[in-house]
Every structure is written in structure tokens, then in C-alpha cells.
Amino acid sequence: MNATNFHGTSFIGYQRGAQHGKSQQAFNPATGQALPWQYFHCSDTEREKALALADAAFIPFQNSRPEQRAELLEAIANNLAAQESLIIDIATQETGLPSVRIKNELARTCFQLRHFATLIREGKCFDKRIDAADNARTPPKPELRAVKLAVGPVTVFGASNFPLAFSVAGGDTASALAAGCPVIVKAHSLHPFTAEIVAGVISATLKQQGWPEGVFSMLYGAGTETGKALVQDARIKAVGFTGSESGGRALQRYASERQHPIPVFAEMSSLNPVFLFPHALDELSDEIAGALAASICNGVGQFCTKPGLLIAPRGVALDRCLEKLNALLTAQQPAPMLSQQGAKHFATAITAVKAHANTVTHEGKVEAAYASPFLLTVDAQAFMKRPELQTEMFGPAALVIVADHETQFGDISNVLNGQLTATVWQTEHDAEAVANLLPRIQNNAGRIVFNGVPTGVEVSHAMVHGGPSPATSDARFTSVGAMAIDRFLRPVCFQNTPTHLLPEILRDK
């Protein structure tokens, strides 16, 4: 495939949709210009065919050996890597993100696929359990064997801010395929042709390996139409979503309206508070300012793990840190956000927070799709009385909460909504105060970071990218790392089952 032969239609199993009906173009946010290709929303008939194919493919895919699915995931990773130049070319045009970011994100996406391949080869994620029978007991004890099996076809919604790692071949798709679930992806409108490249790689790899046709489909269409119809179809058994709180809430509402509701695993909104303890401020001021400036501006602030709240005790050390942070933010040049619409939402959020903040420490700017960083300040008492100050500013901005003393950190943490992360900057001299705060924040966030920034999310066995609402829809799960597969598995117990009828993983070696 190359940029001159985009088809702009949905992938329905191994078939392509028709070039008719409603069409759209993507835009380059850096230039504001429309890109020279158009894509077509799927028809009701095409959506129905994708659902029917996924339903038909489920049992054979569920019953496939983990080794087979591991080989599939590795092949997808290898074939995606082979398309690096084209992916970088198109994704940079669609997102305005620099090529090095796209290159790194593609590497992450491929690593993630291989990570799940290794995971299912090891097999521990399927949680095999065997209780032997005991006929001598009164009453006799039955033989019980349990294992986690795929839940069924899954709908995945591509994220706006990660065209690769949280999109068509991202963590939701990778973990669902690893579990044995067919996947129907609803492509995101901000990077439809990056989606076409990636979907083409997945589809071609599946066909080459001889998998059932409905293991993967990708549909173009509006979230309120195509997305709603997918979520409310009885053949879909789970949903993966990364995006806005309003979008995640809508999907949860659609799922709850079904005769038989299903889980929507939505990763939505997080402010990612950073608690700056006094000795850390005094001793590590420049390091803290440098780390925070880079993290706030990373990806033009469009990371769900961006540090959006900085909580610190008033005093000379904080003033010195903010002076340095302000200078670093001033040095940042305006950069394109993912879309003009996203920039408008960012500007609206800034206005909402500014209405209740005490001061604007650094006045940024939003013009067309371009934005430069903002830094706002409010005192702790005002913050705790104003829920509006917990509005997520999805862009290069942060709100500084100035406490009278670090003992006020606990009161502030008590009013915070659920978070993906919470960060603590401390030295050994802050140990007692940190120990008092930690039990509070560990119940309010999925990941606790010490003396660092939360922006990077490692793909690993121990990673938790989740948290209480509104960070996610279910704090018991993660959308990144090995445990992400748990969302798409359910336990099944087999009692006194003949060996030849057991799932292969439960049979005696």
C-alpha cells in the first residue's frame, strides 16, 4: 500500500466496503488543510456483515491454541514494522505529531503485540486451576477444573491522541486478540488513513495465516451512529475505549440500555495530581521544574497522564520552583494540537478554570489548532470548594494548588476525583508526611509515582493504567500491560468433564 491507493472504506472481514454514502476528509492540524483522500462511512448492511462474521468466528478463535494466537500477534507486529515509512508519513500528516513521536509509538505498538504473545505462551493469564476428585469423602467431592476463556466479540474505539498504540492495533485490540476475542474496531476520524494502513496489515496477516474471516474488522462511521449500533448489538460482549469522559459515559449508557448489559472498559479523564513536599521543593527545585515542564508540554499536553494539578505548600521554595517552571514554559513554541476542535475544547476548559483561579502564572495562547502552555494558580481552600476546578484541561496546562502547609495535602486529596496517577516528590526528610498521605492517594489512583513524572506508561506485567471514576469506568482493571487481558476473559469451571471434552489447556499433559 502507498498513499496514492487509499481505498477509504471499511474492512469487513477480508472484504472492503463500498465507496458510497457519507464521506469525509481528514485534516492536517499543522496546516489546517484537508488531506487529498476521502473515506466513507460504513452502511448498515456492512456493519451487520462485520458483526455476523465476528459472531461466526468467535468459537473457532476462542478454541485456537494460545501458541497460534501468539504467532499471529508477532506476525502483525513484524508486518507493521515493515510499513514504518508509510505509517510515519501518513500519521504525521493526520496528527501534526513529529515523526520521532510516531516512530516511537509504532515501536511501542509492536512491542505491545509481542508482549501479549509472550504472555499467552506462558499461559498464566488463563489462571488454570484443578481440584482433584475425592470419592472417599462424604459426600463425594467432584473433580473441578477452571480456566479463563474469551468473553466473545469485542468492539474497540480508536483514541484521538494515540493513532497507533491506543488505536487499531493498540492495547485493546492486542489484548482482545490474545484472549481469543474477535475484534471490530471503530476507526477514529482524526487519523482514518493511518487506520487504513494498520487495518490492512492486520487483515492481510490473518488471511495469510488462514484465520476465520471475522476475527477482525474495522469500520468507519460516527460514534453516535456506528459506535452506538455496535455497542448495543447482542453479539458484542465487551467494549474498549480511550477518550473523553463524555464519550465514555455515552458508551456506558448505550451498553446499559441493552437487554443484557455488557462491560464498557473506558479510560476517560484524569488530572494526575503531583504532591510537592517542602524538602523536595527546597532541594530539588530545578529538577522538579524541568521534569514538570517537559511532561506538561509532551505531546502538546494531550496525554491522559499529563500532570494537571501541582500541589505544594506556599513559601520561598515554591516561588523559586514556579519561577523556573514559568521560564521553561515561556521558552515553549506554540505547537499544533490534534485538531482545531480539540484546541477549541482546550480553550473552553482553560476559560472555565481561569474563572475560579486566583492568578494566571503563565498566559499561553490558543490559535486555530496551535497552543502554547498555561499555568494557573489557586489557593487550597478555594480549590476544595470549587468542583469546577477539577475540569480537565486536555492540552499544555496545569493548575497549581497552593496549600498553607503540607498537612493540608490530605484534605485536598479527599476532594479529588479518581485518578490514573498520583505523583509524590519527596526526600528522606519528608518521609513522615509522605507516609501519612500515601494511604489516601493509593485509594484514589491506579499508579503512584515517586520523584518522577507520570507521562510515560510502561508496557509490563506490573503496570496499572486505570483508576477510580472518572479516570476509568472500572478501577479493577488496566488498559496497559499484561493485566489488560483480564478485561476480555471470564472464568469457566468444568465439573467431572471427560478429558477429551475439556479445553486443551485444562487437559492433563
Annotated catalytic residues are 267, 304
Identify residue 358 by its one-letter amino acid code: N
Q: Dihedrals φ, ψ of 161, to 5°?
A: -90, -10
For residues 82 and 200, give the distance between their C-alpha atoms in angstroms, rounded to a whole number. 13
- Bridge partners of residue 24, in order along the sequence: 39
Per DSSP, helices labelled H in 260-379 are: 278-283, 285-297, 316-330, 340-354
Are the beta carbons of 169 and 202 closer than 8 angstroms? yes
- CB neighbours of residue 48 within 10 Å: 15
Quickly list DSSP for 249-276.
HHHHHHHHTSSS---EEEE-----EEEE
The greatest distance separating any two alpha carbons of the chain, rounded to the nearest whole angstrom, comes to: 79
Nearest to 11 by CA among 197, 161, 137: 197
- CB neighbours of residue 474 within 10 Å: 16
Nearest to 217 by CA among 9, 490, 38, 68: 9
Would you call 131 helix, strand, or coil by DSSP? strand
